[in-house]
Amino acid sequence: MRPFASCRSVALWCALLAAASPRSLPRPPAAEDGYDLWLRYRLVGDAGRLAEYRAALTQLVVEGDSPTLRAARDELSAGLTGLLGSAIPAVDSVLHDGALIAGTPATSRLVAGLPLADDLRRAGDEGFVLRALRVRGQQAIVIAGNSGVGVLYGVFHLLRLIQTGAPLRGLAVVSAPKLRLRLLDHWDNLDRTVERGYAGRSLWDWPHLPDSIDPRYRDYARVNASIGINGTVLTNVNANATVLSPEYLAKVAALANVFRPYGLRVYLTARFSAPIELGGLATADPLDPAVGAWWRRKVDEIYRAVPDFGGFVVKANSEGQPGPQDYGRTHADGANTLADALAPHGGIVMWRAFVYSNEVPTDRVRQAYDEFTPQDGAFRENVLLQVKNGPLDFQPREPFHPLFGAMSRTPLMMELQITKEYLGQDTHLTFLAPLWEEVLRADTYARGPGSTVGREIRGLAGVANVGSDRDWCGSDFNQANWYAFGRLAWDYTLSSAVIADEWIRMTFSNDPRVVGPVKAMMLASREAVVNYMTPLGLAHQMALGHHYGPGPWVARGRADQTSVYFNRADVAGLGFDRTATGSNAVHQYFPPVRRRFADRDSVPETLLLWFHHVGWSERLRSGRTLWEELLSRYQAGVDTVRWMERTWDGLHDLVDDARFRRVQAFLRTQEAEARWWRDASVSYWQSFSHLPLPPGYPAPAHALDWYRELRCPTDPRKPRCDALMNVGRP
């Protein structure tokens, strides 16, 4: 199999690199707990680079005194002191060679006098300019923006360049975000539980707000600003109306005050039935004048507390949540009522398109498209339809959602899941940038070739993986997904390899003996998870409820939430026919995509069983039968995790001991659970195919009934399956 062959090539390269590396270097002395994330600001280790940076940065000039420019000055001071080993003096008068100048044309006479007009025009409201040039006869580096937050983003970019060992000579960067909305969605409840959260309790200490401000709130804002995230939704999409009460709005305002200097606006989820639950009305019918008046009063109250409030996210008529259809109204009717209340203040509504019903007798993945395309053009201008990356539900692999490109008169944004609900949660190393890159670069053909998903959206929302754990995300490598989300939200054309390289250098080391092997692990990790969980386009094969571990046999509960609904396994074969002979979900894509997915000869084999029901003995383009290819993919997933274990073990002397051992323990768990996925899945499919395992393929460690009866994890908040840890290791 080609993808696995390339993985083995990378593994061999990393093994040779590790074997050639000296093993006598002292281990880094400082144990790290992960709190600093990628803003570690450790002394530059390369002596030549350090000398270059010290010569290029001898003075600090930040003109302007807004809270945001003060934050920029503080970040530069702290960052450069750590990276260069000594503080840089701040000056406001005589310049010497090596001045670092930061400001906007409105706050800085120095910036205003420089020939940067064209660059600043390209930078826009939030972007920045980094230039090495002469200022008043002296060599300087300039960080300029049209706003304070643009300068702040430029500060973090300069620090990133130093952290990653980039040269500063000839520096000429103009950077502007490609998407206007770059938001984290916290599925946090007011009791501090987190739905699909695997990193502790919610950060928001509601009982002690607004009087007690945890210093961690500022660090949260700093970290988001460092990757250009400009909004945070504080509350769960399964909303609680209480957050809109006066008591809680005071708490929200306290958080907004901390976040504001870092360009981070606050948003809230709105429960559609709030006029009943908070306002005492008899109805939440969006066309009832009293309901519209209640929302206008409530929104006015919110803006008095939080003048830069961003707006609402709404989950309505989905999975039991109230909505306009309860009153015979459309989604547009509901969204527009809230949008009209927000419009005078500049606020927006992000209306989630994740709707489906087991009472609708069509393929679940068709339902959002069927629901919303007839309403295209019916939404107000300040409504964005928030669409998941795929038509199902954050699976290890799905095709891109057919709504992208299909709503030409309605702005869309994409929702991703940073927390890995279906990809190993906090336990498995799964770098998600390749998944997101795959979707963002997919061509919808909405306006001909080149109409990529990235070009069809106005914003990106990520379901946050952040919690109260000291390391923020539940494991060291989960932090990389928060970082990758921010970088892709700023520039969706960045590659996964570039993002991984940055993160490794900022988080671990610039040593190529670390960067190369760790990058190879990260870039192989997502495909490994797909292979041992849901190869060849299978989807939603997880255990019921907590979605941890395999459950291809799950048949109880709502049909459209069961595994058997999606795998369609029978004695003839496997997979969901979504062509014209089946549910015809392919028809929702534009013709070039439709033809590609519908044809067995052109559909990507990575999506084969998503669109086609295939016989067990049918030959695929690889030359293998479906049964043989499935076995190959499952084994490739396990083998890749074993290679990741060996690769990490080879870094023992190059990574601090605390983080080394944490990652090592997680990889041991991942390897055991990859075998669990392989063995449980193969046993179940074999009960239909009745085909033998080929020579050399490992037999499952247990009978199928053992896997069916296994109950894992014991603690869904910190998942792992202890019953597997000593079973079947080679």
Active site residues per annotation: 319, 393, 421
Tokens 């049918």 label which residue? 618
- 77: CB partners within 8 A, 6+ apart: 60, 87, 88, 90
Task: Report whether 244 contacts 298 (CB < 8 A).
Answer: yes
The pair of structure tokens assigned to 130 is 């980094």
- 715: CB partners within 8 A, 6+ apart: none
Secondary structure letter of residue 409 according to DSSP: T
Q: Give 367's Cβ-side CA count (13 Å radius).
A: 18
> Which helix (H) or strand (E) is 461 found in, with range?
strand 459-463
Burial 299-332 (b: 16+ CB within 10 A, else e): beebeebbeebbbbbbbbbbeebbbbbbbebbbb
Chain Cα centroid distance, residue 462: 5
- 386: CB partners within 8 A, 6+ apart: 313, 350, 351, 352, 353, 412, 413, 414, 415, 461
Give the residue from 557, 543, 511, 549 showing the smallest Cα distance to 650.
511
Amino acid in the structure at residue 571: V
Let me know if 695 is exposed, middle or buried by CB neighbors in 10 A (0-12, 13-18, 19+): exposed
Task: Report whether 251 contacts 206 (CB < 8 A).
Answer: yes
Task: Report whether 132 contacts 170 (CB < 8 A).
Answer: yes
Give the residue from 252, 299, 257 showing the smallest Cα distance to 278.
299
The pair of structure tokens assigned to 285 is 């019918």
Report the C-alpha gap between 213 and 216 in whole angstroms: 8
Report the C-alpha gap between 357 and 317 in whole angstroms: 9
> What percent of the residues of the chain are helix, what percent strand, and what percent coil, each to the nearest 5?
45, 10, 45
Report the C-alpha gap between 535 and 527 in whole angstroms: 9
Give the residue from 415, 727, 543, 507 showing the smallest Cα distance to 33.
507
Sign of CA dihedral 577, 583, 589, 594: positive
Chain Cα centroid distance, residue 609: 25
Let me know if 51 is exposed, middle or buried by CB neighbors in 10 A (0-12, 13-18, 19+): exposed
CA distances from 308 to 156, 300, 365, 413 (A): 23, 12, 37, 21
- 660: CB partners within 8 A, 6+ apart: 648, 651, 652
Report the C-alpha gap between 187 and 205 in whole angstroms: 14
Which conformational region is residue 504 in: left (phi greater than 0), alpha (psi within -120 to 50 degrees), or beta? alpha
Q: Do β-strands 383-388 and 412-417 pair in parallel, antiparallel, or remain unpaired?
A: parallel
Secondary structure letter of residue 563 according to DSSP: H
Task: For 466-561, list the strands marked E by DSSP.
Answer: none
Burial 635-655 (b: 16+ CB within 10 A, else e): bbbbbbbbbbbebbebbebbb
The pair of structure tokens assigned to 132 is 């090495």
Amino acid in the structure at residue 546: H
